[in-house]
Each structure stands twice: as structure tokens, then as C-alpha cells.
Structure 1
Amino acid sequence: MNRLFFRFFVLVMLAITAATFAIYFAISRLYGDPLEDIARRQAAAEVFLLQNYIDQAPADEWLLRLNQVRLVSKVRYELLPLAEARAALSGASDATLMRGAMVFDVAGKAFMRRVDLKGERYIGSDAEVLRAEGLPIDTAQALQQEALRYAIVALTLLIPIALWSRTHWRGMQTLARVADEFGAGHLSARARMARSASIYPLAERMDHMADRIQRLLEAQRNLLHAVSHEVRTPIARLEFGLELLRSAAADPALEPRIAAMEKDLHELNALVGELLGMARLDGGQAVQRAPFALAAMLRTAAEQAGAAPPPETADAVLEGEQAEAKAIAIGESNTGAGYAVRPVLVLRLAEDLGSVNGDCRLLLRAVANLLSNAEKYAASRIVLTAVRVGGEMEIAVEDDGPGIPAEERERVFEPFYRLDRSRDRASGGFGLGLSIAHKAVALHGGSVRVEDAAMDSALGGARFVIRLPA
């Protein structure tokens, strides 16, 4: 905002400067050089003496009167050959001299004029030029007066412009603040400007837009809550009915079908929960900020991934600092023919993580969603890293799975977007976990992106990086 009004101020100053030069050149072109006019006024006494005393002498007395003036005047008068005088003049000044008019040299404080056009004063007077030097010409004061005049004009223009710009700038600042608050989830933020404000029409339209957006979001949220409630009621009845069917069924062949139906109901119930979570985040859920230990939150996310942490080791070093490494086996699944070990989760937490001021529950869910996504596609290993980089906290979740193509990395955070629908159906999920993580981090002023695997990493799979203000 400040840049906008600074550019406007610079533009006004440049316009005033350009107008000053334009006025000067226009007057010079139409009426002659203003400095020459100033010099002519300041040398008026010498001009008057030449025209009304020396030039009024009778024939053959012109030189006598000129010599008398030389004796009493501080101005130096000398006679020059016409050819020499013309050689020192430009085209326009030369033409002026040949007409018999005076030609002023402001910088040299002098003027020149032909003695006689017809040679009537003395023999050869038509081939000589009178040059007067040392005239009392001082244009500095005149230039200062002109500069003062233009400065007064500039201030007269700039003061009302500055006053108008100040009110305009304050109105723009109010609109920017309202936009920031509205974008942060405070849907009741409005500009509420007076009708006399210069940007009242814009503020009024922004307020109307905010009212419509608030009504739409509230209607969407109410509809989603109502639909979710109505859907959960039949889900609960179906679960109860399936439980009764299981207890009453005597045919063992029905057991797999009942189990499959129960699994579908659990997925539907989880989908409703995810949709409600998305609705709360989209509706501008307020972030309940409070300081919490980042390392403890990450350990809790690892525990929620499926296993309790094993004893600590101290063989990992991050960014030149001693870090702790924990290998956590995320559960085991009995396949009937043996045990298939699920991916191993390794924690690498720097010692100087400290605390973060934010909503611990939201950030915990964001990290847990990233870990859950990595667990689905990792082959054998997941690494959770956290370090402090400058003024930011960097949390990375990396796996040794197939990775994400570069052209798909921005779309994976869209709701319900899936890279491989067949694999997602096999591994579970609705395509909402990454979107929820992205929104939760954004509410804290951070970002989450998919980046290339670290140069020193041999995993080679997907790498999700969360950056939060420290």
C-alpha cells in the first residue's frame, strides 16, 4: 500500500517538473529567452544611455560621446569588426544583430549592437559593432525568485493532493485489514465506511461480497452438518442391525458378507467425519493458539501411527546438531501364513526445536495425516524429520514408496483427488487427508509442499515438507 502512494507522489513531482520545463521552453519559443528579458531590464540604464545620449549625437560626434561615456562608466565599451562579432554568434542571434537590434550575452554580462547600418556616423561605421561588457546583470536572484514561484505552485498542488491521498490511503489500509481478517476466517469483518469516504463505493461492494460469502459458507456448513447428522442416524441403525444379524445368523457363510458390510459402514462413518472436519476448516475455524512442545507433539503423532516408541538412540546428527533417532515399528498384521512387517517409522528430531505457538490438535492431525498417507505407499521405511531453519520450523515426512510425479504435486492437496484410484481403493482413504493437512497448516501461516527427495536420502519416495513460523 505504501508503495502505491509513493509511486503516486513521485509521479506528481515528475509531472510538476516536466510542466516547469515545458513552460520555460514554450515561453522561450514564443516570446524569447526569459533570462534575456531579465538581463535587458537589469541593463536598462546602459541601454538608455546608448540610445538616448550616444545615438542622439550629431554627425561625426558619435565617437566623441562614446569616449566621454567610457571615462565615467564602469562598463567597458569597445568596437569590433562586424565579421569578428558575427563569427561568435549563432544563426538567430546573427540575424538579430544584422537587423540592428541588441544581442545580449547573459553569461558574459554583455551586449552587442551594430554602430550604424548605413555608415552615416563615421566612415566605416556600418562595418563595426559596439560591444558593452561588465553590465550589472545578476540572474541568480531572478532564478531564485522563479524557483520560489514554482515551489509555491508545487506546494499549492501537493498539499491538497497529500490530504486527499492520506484519507484515501487510510481507507485502503482499512480495506486491506478487513481482507486479511476475512481471509483468516473472521467472516464478520466489514469495512463499514462513511458515505463521505473517497472509496466508499468499493468498500460497500466488498461488504456486500463478504455478506454473500458468509451466508453461502454458513448455508454450506449448516447443510453439511444436517446431512451428516441424517446420514449417521441410518448408519447407526445399520450397524445395530448387522450386529443383531451376526448374533442371530447360524450360517457361517454369511460371516464374510456381514464383515464386508460392517467395513463399508465404518468407511462411510469415517467419510462423514472427514467431511465434517473439512467443513470446520473451510468455514474459518478459529485457531486456538497456545505454546506447546513441538517434539512432544511429533512423538504423539508417531504413537498414533500405530506403535509405542522404543528406547532412544543418539546416532543421528541433523544440521550439525545432535538429534535423537527412534525406530518405531508401525504394528504388525497377521496374514494367516505369517507376519508381514509394516513400514518402520524413524524419528529424527533436532534438540533445539523448542515450542510453537499454535493449535496443537490441528497440527497433530496434519502430521498424522501425512504419516498415514506415507504408511499407505511406503515399501519398508518412513522418516519423520524436524529441524529449525532460520525463523521457520521444518517438518518433513519421507517414505521409500513410488513417489509423486512432479506434475501432480500441487493437485494432491485437492479434496478427493487420487493419483491411483485402484491403489487407493485397496489401501483405503477418501482423498481428504492431505487436503485437511494443507488447510490446518495454512491456518497457522505455514505451508506444506511436496518436494524432491533430499540429496542425502536414499529413500527416493514422496517427501512432504511442512514449514511453520518459529
Structure 2
Amino acid sequence: MKLCLLPRSLARRTIVFLLVGFAFIQMLGLLVHTVNQMSLERMVDEQEFATRAAIIYRHIALAQPSDRAMVAAREPVPKDDTVSLTLSPPLDGTMRMPLPMAETVRAGIFTYGIPPNLRPRGIMLRVAAHPFRLIVSFGLPDGLFFPMPPPMPDGGPTPDGAPPDMMWPPPAQLLPPLMWLTVTTELHPPAPWRSPGFATAFIVMMLLGGIVITLAVRQLLVPVKTLAAAAELFGRDVVNAKPLPEVGPSEIVTAARAFNTMAARIRRFVEDRTFLLTAIGHDLRTPITRLKLRAEYMDDDEQRAKMLADLDEMEAMVAATLAFGKDITTTEPLARLDLASLLRTIVDETADMDPDHAAALDYQGPQHLPINARPLALKRALSNLITNAMKYGDAARVTLHAPVKGTVRIDIEDEGPGIPSEEMERVFEPFRRLETSRNRETGGSGLGLSIARNIVRAHGGDILLENETKGLRVTVTLPV
């Protein structure tokens, strides 16, 4: 047995396909958004680090050269940052900072705004791995400019453009050639998908998308369901089936128009065939009547009786043919009727026609059961079934069951010999009679069961035959 995980319904299958595609698109879109957000967050982290490094550099550069180590040690920095003063920038285990990252860090440093007199003598940008770190090394000023509260009397000349509180110290007070301030930070990879917002956004978009997709698919499949219902109704009742409305999108209008055209052609074919059948039956009445009149003048009584019997049988067949054609083309409207009362009426009428076997007729079921049906047609079908049960099975036990899932069931049981299983379907064919009659006396024209099934199926039901231990059971199902 082949396992199919897809739902059988076209609507559900379409919804599943669209939801899977929508989820894939959403995941792809969120992935692109996440990568972009990670890049932006990394850039923001780099700029913030560059600004912090510039602030630290300014604090230390403004300090007395002899106090810079103490200021660096006391500088408040985040837990992932480190500050150190060395004679040379750290190069071991590091590599040159990639150009895009270096441009971001350099822009962050100079955006902060370092005064010209505090400009570093050099900046070195490096990165290290395991863990990933950013390293910025500043070449500190060599002590040529530093703030002093009062001007020293033995100080050197003030350089042009220098503030009044800045002095040019004598050569004896120069500091060592160069000191490097190194600021390091550890960058943690951003993980926006771990935040509640990521999952919330995905769930909300999937819910809203699922609702929109479900409503759209159901709306799109309404014409398909309408077409299926129209085809089902047309298959049950060719004459009374209404045409499909030719409205909606162009594709739906085209399909509805094609269906209506097909239905009209089939209806015309059935009507033509029925008209031909009834016309032949009607035209046969006149010669049959003439033959009966001529038979009355025959001298041989035995031959006259045989001929009249044959003519009576032919006349009965013609009448059945006309009735069959009339039933096919009848357009009786639906009406609300009491099925229980209808069955009791048929049972009583059948008993009146055969008083000797009235005891073999029985009805069991509710007192009232309203349904929508065509009263005259349904009465004819049920009367035919009950009459057949009495004629060929010597009994008719009629049982009306309560509706189950919108369907009512009628059982008609007799006490006859039953029907061979291979003949169950043949008895419903027009003009088809069993080769071996269910009784010694062969009767009927072979149209009764065909007419009954056509009527019941036109109501949306069906007729089934089933042999029991003693007799035949005819089951009629009808929609409520």
C-alpha cells in the first residue's frame, strides 16, 4: 500500500503547498534580514569601540607623562575591554584589520574629535582570533606638549599658536621617544535569532500568512465545488438540473459555459431519444387497437384468446413505454412531504387492492418524517417496489429508519425466492426481465425497477438489492 502524506482534499493540499513555500520564503527573508542585522550590529559595535578607544586615548594623552600608567590602570572600561601601555604595539598573534572594518574603526576614532595638539603619532589597527578581538594602538605624544598650571619661570619660549597654559619644556625634561596605548575589545558574534523577537516575527507572519492563504484558497475553490455539485446533480437528474451561473474569472466562466453546453447537448440527446421512444409507443396504439377489433371477429375461440392475450401484453408494454418517457421528462418541483405518512398510505392502498394478502403487509417506523421530495414521482417509485414485493415475494414488510447523517433508509422485505447475485444489476435495465421469473407467473414489462431507480437517484438517493435467508430486501436511501 502506497503511503501518501499529502491530504486528499485539493484545498488542503494547495494550502499545504502554499504554506510550505511561504515558510521557505519567510525563512529566506528572515535569514537575509538577520545577516544584514548582524552586519549592522557588528558595525555599531566597531564604531562604539572606536569611540571608547578615542576617549581613553584622550584621557591618557592629557595626563602627565609620568601619570599615564596610573590613569590607564584607573580608566573605567567594559569587562570585554583592556587598556595597556607598551613601548611597542602588540603584533604577535595578530593580523592586519580588514579594510572595511578598518575604515569603520578609523572613522569612529576621528569622528570623536581629537584636538590637533593631541593627535597620536601613529595608529595601528589589528585583529586577533580565538576569541575574536579588535586591537587599536595609539602612538602617544612624546611629551613635547602637556598642560601645566602656572608658567615656569625658567621655561622655554611659547610656540606660536599654543594656548597660554601650555609650555615648551626645556630639553632636559623630554620624555622617552614614544609610548603606545593599546585598547583591546572582545567582540561576541551577534545572534538575533536567539532573541524572542525573531521567533515572534516568524510565528506572527506565518499565522497571518496562513489565514490569508486559507481564505484565498477556499475562495478560489468555491467554483470548483460548485462545478462538482452541478455535475453530481446533473448526473442524478438530467432534466431538472439547473445550468451553472457563468460569472467570475474568465477561466471559471469558460469552464461553466463548457459545462452548460455539454449539459444542454446531453439533455437534448435524452429528450430526443425519449421523444422517439414515446412516439413509437404512441403510434403503436392504433394498429394494436385495430388488431384487437379484428381478433374479435375470429371464429376460432382458442386462437382469438391467444391473440387477444398477446395484444393485451403489447398494449401494456406500450403503456409502460409511454409512462417511462413521461417520467424521464417530468419536471415536478420539490416539496416538503411526510415520508412516514406516504409509506402508510401506499401500504393501505396496496392492501385495498389485494385484500386476501393484506395481512402480509406491514409498516414499522416513526409516525412522521418530513423530507424534501417530488411527491408524485416518489410515490410511484415506492408503490412499484412494494407492489413487486407483494407480487413476487408474497409479503411486504416496510421499515422506515430514523435519519443518519442526513440520509433516511427504507427497507422493503419479502418472502420470495430472491434474485441471483449475477442478476442484481440487470433487473434495473429498461425492458429487462429475468429469464427465470421469481414466480410461476411472468408479469410486467421490465420497466418498473428502472423507473423506480431513476426517480430515487433523481432525488439524490439509490436503490440496492440484497438476498436474505428468506426473501429479498430492497433498501432505498434518500436525503432528508
CA distance in 1, matches of 2:285, 2:74: 118
Given that 1:78 and 1:132 are in contact with CA atoms closer than 8 Å, whether structure 2 keeps it comes out as no
Residue 437 (structure 1) aligns with? 452
Q: 1:149 to 1:307 in 2, by over 3 A?
A: closer
Q: Is 1:71–2:91 an aligned residue pair? A: no
In structure 2, the partner of 1:14 is: 20
**Aligned equivalent of 1:383, options 396, 417, 436:** 396
Residues 409 and 422 (structure 1 numbering): CA distance in 2 closer, same or farther, change over 3 Å?
A: closer
Question: What's the offset of the Cα at 1:398?
Answer: 1.8
Map of 1:324 onto structure 2: none
1:376-412 CA-partner distances (Å, limit 9, x unpaired): 543xx42322233235543322223222344543443
What code does the residue aligned with 2:448 have? G
Deviations 1:39-80 (A, max 9, x none): 30331234435887999x99xx9xx8999498333343369x
TM-aligned CA deviation for residue 158 of structure 1: 9.7
Question: 1:25-424 residue pairs with structure 2 within 5 A?
Answer: 33-34=35-36, 36-48=38-50, 68=72, 71-77=75-81, 112-113=132-133, 132=186, 139=192, 168-169=220-221, 171-172=223-224, 175-176=227-228, 178-179=230-231, 182-183=234-235, 184-186=237-239, 189-191=242-244, 193=246, 197-245=250-298, 249=299, 254-283=300-329, 285-287=331-333, 289=335, 291-292=337-338, 293-303=341-351, 306-308=353-355, 329=357, 345-350=360-365, 352-354=367-369, 357-378=372-393, 381-391=394-404, 392-421=407-436
State the one-letter code of the partner of 1:296.
R
Take 1:269 and 1:67, find their aligned partners in 2: how far apart are those partners?
A: 128
Query: Which whole-Å CA distance do the structure 2 matches of 1:172 and 1:66 have between them?
Result: 83
**Contact 2:399 2:412 survives alignment (8 Å):** no
More strand by share: 1
SS in 1 for 2:297: helix
SS where residue 465 of structure 1 aligns? strand
Judging changes above 3 Å, is the alpha-carbon distance between structure 1 residues 137 and 167 closer, same or farther for their aligned structure 2 residues?
Answer: closer
Higher RCO structure, 1 or 2 (CA under 8 Å, sep 6+):
2
- Paired AA for residue 268 in structure 2: R
SS in 1 for 2:360: strand
Contact 1:441 1:468 in 2 (8 A): yes
| Partner SS state of residue 302, structure 1 | helix
Instruction: Write the deviation string for residues 435-466 of structure 1: whole angstroms up to 9, x where unpaired.
Output: 1111222233332211353xxxxx62211122
- SS state of the match for residue 199, structure 1? helix
In 2, the alpha carbon distance for the partners of 1:194 and 1:329 equals 58
Normalising by structure 1, we get a TM-score of 0.63
Distance 1:393 1:40, change over 3 A: closer
Preserved contact between residue 178 and residue 191 of structure 1 (Cα < 8 Å)? yes
Distance 2:382 2:301 in 1: 36
Paired amino acid for 2:186 = A
Q: In structure 2, what is the Cα distance between the partners aligned to 1:78 and 1:419?
A: 106
Moved more, 163-172 or 434-443: 163-172
Return the alpha-carbon distance in structure 2 between the equivalents of residues 230 and 371 of structure 1.
32
Q: Which runs of 5+ in 2 are unaligned?
A: 1-8, 84-125, 137-183
- Give per-residue Cα distances to partners, 1:75-98, cap 9 Å, x unaligned: 43369xxxxxxxxxxxxxxxxxxx
Identity of aligned residues (%): 26
Deviation of 1:297 (Å): 2.1
* Cα distance in 1 between the residues matched to 2:27 and 2:262: 47
Residue deviations 1:265-315 (CA, integer Å, cap 9, x gap): 1221221222223223333642453535224323245236x413xxxxxxx
Cα deviation, residue 11, structure 1: 2.7
Number of equivalent positions? 373
Against the structure 1 CA distance between its residues 443 and 50, is the aligned structure 2 distance closer, same or farther, given a 3 Å change threshold? same
Secondary structure of 2:464 counterpart:
strand
CA–CA distance in 1 between the matches of 2:254 and 2:274? 30
TM value normalised by structure 2:
0.61
> Which deviations, in whole Å up to 9, do the C-alpha atoms of 1:97-145 show, x marking residues without a partner?
xxx85679xxxxxx633879xxxxxxxxxxxxx6637x79684899959
* Aligned residue in 2 for 1:449: 464
